[in-house]
Chain A
């Protein structure tokens, strides 16, 4: 191993250690406060940013939803909050152990782990909710506490990374070595992004198209990194997208099905979701949705299926969202509502399996430059 690699490894390891220490210190200070309250005969309490709808506001500057100023007091004296208070304490305690031991856990794991501590979560959605509480109190994403969702998204392309997770520190990997792509999990999101020859990131909604893109060597033909979001992009994927954009200075374009849900998948990557308004660092404001647009349905004469009632309702709901008040977001919603039909990415197969990569993609990449 060269000296360069050695020092890099040290640097990476140091950076990871620092981050871990930050997290641990923060958890400790929260714990100490609770400890002191109890020890002095007081019911412990803390404040938490309110996540109620009225406190979720759209920040035009940040181009995402954020929480407003109102906070809620959580007190262990209040018996209706006592249980969730204790659950949150447990979660902090558990996250502390995870971080300390450098172990990771899925949301599902958390739910089951709780059962060893007489902290009875009724179901996973309750434990998930407490995890969001921990995020809100600490303003850190759960991934910082080594808590991850089940992974389903993947990445492929010429990108060298260097792991920082225990046991793999300093190990490097090129993400174009395996044609099925690499699952985007904790080890990838925490890895150092070393270098890449790619000039663009293409996020695509569906696994099937991801495979097609790899087969058709879209990575090479268009100097791109291909990411399968697996539907609505998970947080880890959004984190990675942001890092690719911010750290590697790569533009991000998004390809989704030609329906209102596809449009929103693109919007969430671009500017986050209301559900995660308590977190920043998860958005790629410069990301561009290039298709499939409602206008493409007509332009490319794509085979369509009719929109369902819930599709139509979703259109009307999104029309009230401040992010959909202008630009293509507004225009495409209107066209969807006019057509009352939608088209999937696979619809291009009508004109040949490679039609989408040969014809559609180049046109859209060209168009993206002007968006």
Chain B
């Protein structure tokens, strides 16, 4: 289901998800085999990828830094595997990417080789795009039913733009129609934020940034020739060097590196093809290469004054610190980068490749401590948004009072996160006391409620201060979005109490609770006014009756005036 929703989200398709659970043999008693089918209207998976996607463990595309429901692409395969272990039945996958043809596979997983075994493959004509996965697995619906229904219910609550239906084994249908027709903006993939970047991450980023010496093959030679605009016949060493000098600024980095190498080796491409560069020893200004002709290792001196020397060392030593920061991290500009270098005690032009391990540790350390980095870019996050959340909650609870808030993005250890919450009071809510629906990246968290940070924050609030005393019919929806939710346990059911997240949750709840208290006050006032009017209606005529006799009058005083005035005040 989550995969289906993710797929639809990424393609901007309003999701239609059908979940069906059917008993293979309804007469048998639980636990027994069930067939679980999830059907979506997403983009489908290309036929050739289907066996790998569903027949191997850890086949996933989810490696970029953006928010998605699943993180590692384990969920579906694990379910398939579980089905295979308990019932030894294959998984059936039907996929159509073009709304014309559908590829239907029956697959088993070869666990030892982590490879799919295709039992059947046929093609059918269909009219709709989408993916359908059927797994046969053993389960106990009588026990798990509540959780499954909760899961569908809550998923629908946090995905108001999806239509979700669930047909359960008892023949009950749980339809959750689409409540809004606009999709939230899909998340974009972004660069990491400096906070929370450790030494290992920096090393990995350095490797990505360090430019390797290009392989010199025919295609590359052809590229160099074209870039320099030289004819094949006039492709000598001198011609190359002359032309390169003139056109240096227009040349690509790859070409520049090759030219630089050639300048020290003083070879044309013909000769170059017969050697292999072994090492560029920057401190000793030497260039080592292996000559295939006489099978010996040779070296040439490099002139440090040469512009080509600079080009080569740049390549070898990596980018300058400032370039590295501005290119590899989000929201770091040149000015900030220079300021940071000063803060960290590095020269701005210090090259990453020349840093010792200690220096790298110092760099990583300073990245955490520098205060002037901008907050993390939340564009990689996909909160639902205030309006859809509000609409969804309104449809679900039809409350007397509803408020939602989306806090601006914050970060914990470099991972951006956004907290969005809603509070609904009264109306169709029949539960007494505060009911909390927790979501993380649009996934309902159903288990292990007690130790969750959201619950902790909610329980720490003195609700009577906000006029919600006793057991108020209150629903709180909490949605934490992050590129990495800090789950406490591997089960991914409760969010750890990171201080930054706790703070955002608290501010969100306090903001909403203040609004709730205003509502409760008004409601209290309205009730009090009504009560007051009733009291007046009861007692004022009596006072009139008594004082009439007491004053020795015959006609009662016109007390209607004050009663009407009171009503006016009440109706205001």
Residues of chain A having any CB pair with chain B under 8 Å = 27-28, 30-32, 34-36, 38-39, 41-44, 76, 79, 82-83, 85-86, 89-90, 92-93, 96-97, 117-119
Contact = CB atoms under 8 A, between A and B. Distances in A.
B542 A38 contact: no
Interface string B256-280: 0000000000000000000000000
Given A38-B543, A44-B543, A119-B542, A93 B550 contact: yes
27 contacts: A27-B550, A28-B550, A28-B551, A30-B550, A31-B546, A31-B549, A32-B547, A34-B550, A35-B550, A35-B557, A38-B540, A38-B544, A38-B557, A39-B557, A41-B562, A42-B562, A44-B543, A76-B543, A79-B531, A79-B536, A85-B543, A89-B542, A89-B550, A90-B546, A92-B546, A93-B545, A96-B549
Contact of B565 (A41, A96, A119): A41
A34 B542 contact: no
Given A35-B553, A41-B565, A76-B540, A82 B535 contact: yes
Contacts of B559: 38-39
A34 B547 CA distance: 6
B542 A117 contact: yes
Interface in B499-547: 531-532, 535-536, 539-540, 542-547
A38 B548 CA distance: 10
Interface residues of B, number: 24
B539 A83 contact: yes
A35 B539 contact: no
B536 A82 contact: yes
Given A41-B561, A41-B562, A41-B565, A35 B542 contact: no
Nearest to A97: B549
B552 interface: yes
Contacts of A36: 557
Contacts of A118: 542
A112 B558 CA distance: 30
Nearest to B561: A41
B540 to A, nearest CB: 7
Given A38-B557, A41-B562, A117-B542, A79 B547 contact: no
Nearest to A30: B550
A99 to B, nearest CB: 11
B543 A31 contact: no
B133 to A, nearest CB: 66
Contacts of A86: 539, 542-543, 546
Contact of A35 (B535, B536, B547, B562): B547
A42 B547 CA distance: 14
Interface string B469-486: 000000000000000000
Contact of A44 (B536, B547, B549, B558): B547
A83 B535 CA distance: 8
Contacts of B565: 41
A31 B552 contact: yes
Given A83-B539, A86-B542, A119-B542, A31 B551 contact: yes
A92 B545 CA distance: 12
Contacts of A96: 549-550
Given A41-B565, A85-B539, A86-B543, 17 more contacts: A31-B546, A35-B550, A38-B562, A41-B561, A42-B562, A79-B535, A82-B535, A85-B543, A86-B546, A89-B546, A89-B547, A90-B542, A92-B546, A93-B546, A93-B549, A96-B550, A118-B542
Contacts of A76: 539-540, 543
A337 to B, nearest CB: 49
Most buried by B among A28, A35, A86, A119: A35
Contacts of B546: 31, 86, 89-90, 92-93
B539 A38 contact: no
Contacts of B535: 79, 82-83
Contacts of A43: 562
A194 to B, nearest CB: 36
Contacts of A89: 542-543, 546-547, 550
A97 B546 CA distance: 11
Contacts of A83: 535, 539
Contact of A34 (B536, B543, B561): B543
Contacts of B561: 41
A43 B569 CA distance: 15
A35 B565 CA distance: 18
A30 B565 CA distance: 25
Given A38-B562, A39-B557, A28 B552 contact: yes
B567 to A, nearest CB: 13
B532 A35 contact: no
Most buried by A among B532, B535, B536, B562: B562
A76 B538 CA distance: 12
Contacts of B551: 28, 31-32, 34-35
Contacts of A34: 543, 547, 550-551
A31 B548 CA distance: 7
A198 to B, nearest CB: 42
Most buried by A among B531, B532, B550, B558: B550
Nearest to B553: A35
Interface string B118-137: 00000000000000000000
Contacts of A38: 540, 543-544, 547, 557-559, 562
A193 B540 CA distance: 45
Interface in B413-441: none
B547 A31 contact: yes
Contacts of A117: 542
A36 B551 CA distance: 9
Contacts of A82: 535-536, 539
B221 to A, nearest CB: 98
Contacts of A27: 550
B227 to A, nearest CB: 92
Contacts of B562: 38, 41-43
Contacts of B550: 27-28, 30-32, 34-35, 89, 92-93, 96
A42 to B, nearest CB: 7
Most buried by A among B532, B539, B546: B546
A44 B551 CA distance: 14
Contacts of A32: 547, 550-552
Contacts of A28: 550-552
A320 B532 CA distance: 44
B566 to A, nearest CB: 9
Nearest to A94: B546
Q: Which 9 A-B pairs have the closest CB atoms?
A: A31-B550, A41-B561, A39-B557, A93-B546, A38-B557, A31-B551, A34-B547, A32-B551, A35-B551
